Homo-oligomer: A and B are copies of this chain.
Amino acid sequence: MQLANIQWSSVEEEIARTVFERAYQREITALMQQVRERANAIASLEELWMLHDFLSVRRHEIDGKYEFDQASLIFVFAELLKEGWLQFDELAGLAPEKQTKIAALTRM
């Protein structure tokens, strides 16, 4: 599958940014809720450090995932679909070729 040098029209880029931002808001809202729940359930220092480790991992993942970069957008959208932060129909408006590639990547 050819994924390098995929061109994005300005309309597609706008759609991508909107969808990307939406997924980001969903994921961080869920993360903040999860951290609140975990923090409220902490009963030992060990559990507190487990929360710290969890935040270290999530911070690293989120910092890496949500850099808007056309070259990796196809992969990121596939990842966001697999993780449930996006639904496939939210990619409407992207060229069918891009949608096909994203869909294929979600099955890998």
- Residues of B within 8 Å of A48, CB to CB, are 28, 31-32, 35, 55
A59 an interface residue at 8 Å Cβ cutoff? Answer: yes
Interface size on A, residues (CB 8 A): 19
Q: Which secondary structure characterizes the binding site on chain A? A: helix
User: Which A residues are closer than 8 A to B by beta carbons?
Assistant: 28, 31-32, 35-36, 38-40, 42-43, 45, 48-49, 51-52, 55-56, 59, 62
> Apart from A45-B62, A48-B55, A49-B55, what 14 extra A-B contacts exist at CB < 8 Å?
A28-B48, A31-B45, A31-B48, A32-B48, A35-B51, A36-B39, A36-B40, A36-B42, A39-B39, A39-B40, A49-B59, A51-B55, A52-B59, A56-B56
